[in-house]
Amino acid sequence: MPPRTAELSMSLVDSVRKVIVPIHKEGYVFIAIGLVATIILANLWSPFGWIGAIITVWICYFFRDPVRIVPQREGLVISPADGRVSQIAQSLPPPELDLPAEPMTRVSIFMNVFDCHVNRSPVAGRILKMAYTPGLFLNAELDKASDDNERNALAIETSSGPIGVVQIAGLIARRIVPFVKEGDTLATGERFGLIRFGSRVDVYLPAHVVPLVGEGQTAIAGETVLADLSGNEPVPRSYRGI
């Protein structure tokens, strides 16, 4: 192959790779089921086949696992989930994490069915405690979902103290899939779990930490800075009451 042709071919491959987002392996079985269902439906009646194809494409989209550029400065707390910052409040951490029974700053991120559901560690540190709690499947946007819904909670040790991260199942979600175990060491932005199919992730910060995001803001897992434990990041004017 001539050098110029080879160069163009490699450029085309790179372009395709940038457009096609990787799919997490947890989605493979659902995609396979969607493809089989699509074939069966198409044989019954072709319009049904198109419906099946659209649903299968959505499944591929739901289980996407894009590459993220993670901020590396020590002390930063990064969003663990894609979605909307639904609430910022002072709240007691889940009792199963054995954290001090004192209010912490809770930042809640709500994921709808169109958000990427691969969750990433907000900080670097060792998992001190990991606890799964069965529960209900209320709307994850409700405040009581933190206490009543099925959840998987992690306490991560950092140089600034423990940080709580809680995956909460939602109205549609029926499965929280962990990728880690108690005692594991996580890097900031490392994948630690996935929730199917619409849910919420809460991050519990020390009470004195001022969030660098606001309610209603869109967060990107592994990239959006939620807070700075070292206090070196300037606080936006709107969050200083100015």
Catalytically active residues are 199
CB 132 within 8 A of CB 176: yes
CB 150 within 8 A of CB 136: yes
Nearest to 125 by CA among 155, 152, 156, 97: 156
Cβ neighbours of 170 (radius 10 Å): 25
Q: Output the CA angle 40-41-46, nearest 5 degrees.
A: 125
CB 116 within 8 A of CB 65: yes
Helix/strand/coil percent split, the chain, to 5: 25, 30, 45
- Classify 139 as helix, strand or coil: coil
CB 84 within 8 A of CB 44: no
In whole angstroms, give the CA distance from residue 134 to residue 121: 22
**Side-chain-facing half-sphere of 126: CA atoms under 13 Å:** 3
In whole angstroms, give the CA distance from residue 233 to residue 80: 19
